Amino acid sequence: MIEVYVDGASAGNPGPSGAGVFIKAEGSVIRSSLPLGTLTNHEAEFEALIHALTLCIDKQFRTISVRTDSQLVSSAVDGRYVKNKGYQPYLIRCLALVDQFDLCFIKWIPSSKNKMADELARKAIKQNK
């Protein structure tokens, strides 16, 4: 199974933001840092997941296990519901991508277990223009 670690970060809330994605796939590793412009931290977390899912679809991975340190994102996607209607468009985009996989798990992990994705997200913040 493909292991996917995602993290979104913001320098301010809202502020310059970035997405970090770290994928362990069949003996190889994929690292991605994506500058996101000005977003809130939660928006950056959703965008990081969207970026990761898109990468996995592009690589034609069919079964993935996603790990995030965002409890909001993991519970929203897992429960297919978000209380804050401002995040609804993000959830809709995430679910449309999740539904393209044969199997897609999403799991919350503590920040201490998500260091590589966090580093990539922080790198992406610095890439904002």
Q: For residues 71 and 103, give the distance between their C-alpha atoms in angstroms, rounded to a whole number.
A: 20
Among 26-30, 83-87, 92-96, name the one with the lowest average pLDDT. Answer: 26-30
Average pLDDT, the chain: 97
The structural domains of the chain, with segments of one domain joined by +, span 2-127
Please state, for a pLDDT cut of 70, what percent of the chain lies above it.
Answer: 100
Query: pTM of whole model > 0.75?
Result: yes
User: Which pLDDT value is given to residue 129?
Assistant: 77
pLDDT in tens, 38-80: 999 999 999 999 999 999 999 999 999 999 999 999 999 999 9
Return the CATH number of the domain spanning residue range 2-127. 3.30.420.10
Strands (E), the chain: 2-10, 15-25, 28-39, 63-68, 103-108
User: Which pLDDT value is given to residue 26?
Assistant: 84
| Distances from the Cα of 5 to the Cα of 14, 30, 70, 81, 88, angstroms | 23, 10, 11, 21, 22
